[in-house]
Amino acid sequence: MSKQMPKLYLGAMSKNIIDAAIEYSADTGEAVGLIPSRRQVDFNSGYANNWKTKEFVSYIRKRSKLIVIQRDHGGPNQGDNEDDGMESFFYDSSSGFDLIHIDPWKKYPSLEKASEITANCIKFCHLVNPACEYEIGTEQAIRKYESEELDLFLDLVRNKTNDAEWDKVRYAVIQSGTKLSSGKNTGEFDKNKLERMVKVCSAHRLLSKEHNGDYLNQDQIKIRFEWGLDSINVAPEIVNIESKILMANPRVSDLMFDECIASGRWEKWFPKGFDPYINKESVVLVCGHYSYSNPIVSEAIRELGLNEEIKKQLRVGIERILLCA
């Protein structure tokens, strides 16, 4: 890949996030990554602006050469329905994604099986598009591992791929203690574990990336990069900037809440017995982004002229992170 590798990768939950990233890169010359999950953008569906994979890639490519487009958590059972993930991988690689995160760990938590599926997915995507590159490994919320296990996993994948395929592996996911819960990062940072995992990545000539970098203060971000981290993913934190602006408008907030309830998506994020009607603000903050592409909601946002302020504040959020990366 000829593109500069970004330090920051953003969840692609809304058109405003996409546009803010494009505008930031255009103004600064600095690359930013966009990491749609399969639920956000996929070959047959997606709640992010109702984009499908090809439409999403086309929209960005027409506007920026600096944005790095990466599939986040591609693989079996990572979409809305149970599947092996291969059709999604076909569209990702054939549509021109720069990077694909291959993540079978949700279904296959053992090192041996995860390495086998990872290698097979790399082989498949490489046949479709030899230019595509890969991120392998997973976050500790899905399958926790130590540096020795990461080292073994990388060896296993290397031994199951040929030179041309392995040369396209760019990132490994490291785990130094990040955990998201109720709008906070409750993970316990382990500097020694970070250092060990970064060394493992370096030994395999890979870049290191950590997931769930949301809600860290600037010192917590800075120390990770000082100790060798190459890149970080941020998703809920950035979309919450947008949701908070929209929540300040009662009309939009009510519309978002109604759509959250109608879709049933809120149920995934709250415990059994949770009453959304007496916790409206929490529902909208956590799940409001699912409603952005609803025509009634998006038209109300447009009529009120909120998009420019949203993009302005999203840029502030991007700059806050990159200032110390």
pLDDT tens profile 149-182:
999 999 999 999 999 999 999 999 999 999 988 7
User: CA nearest 125: which of 115, 136, 133, 135?
Assistant: 133
Give the mean model confidence (pLDDT) for residues 37-44: 96
User: CA nearest 69: which of 153, 11, 26, 145?
Assistant: 11
Residue 1: predicted pLDDT: 58
Residue 111: predicted pLDDT: 98
What pTM did the predictor assign? 0.96
Q: Which residue has the higher pLDDT, 272 or 6?
A: 6
> Is it the case that residue 99 has pLDDT exceeding 80?
yes
pLDDT tens profile 253-291:
999 999 999 999 899 888 889 999 999 999 999 999 999
Residue 296: predicted pLDDT: 96
User: What whole-number distance in Å separates Cα of residue 185 and Cα of residue 4?
Assistant: 28
Q: Which residues pair with 136 in a beta bridge?
A: 102, 172
DSSP character for 230? -
> Is it the case that residue 2 has pLDDT exceeding 60?
no
Neighbours of 64 (CB within 10 A): 20
Q: What are phi and psi for residue 222, nearest 5 degrees?
A: -60, -45
User: What whole-number distance in Å separates Cα of residue 128 and Cα of residue 97?
Assistant: 12
Termini Cα distance of the chain: 22
Going from the N-terminus, what domains does the chain have, and what CATH number goes with each? 8-238+317-322 (3.20.20.70), 239-315 (no CATH)
Per-residue H/E/C for 100-151: EEECCCCCCCCHHHHHHHHHHHHHHHHHHCCCCEEEECCCCCCCCCCHHHHH
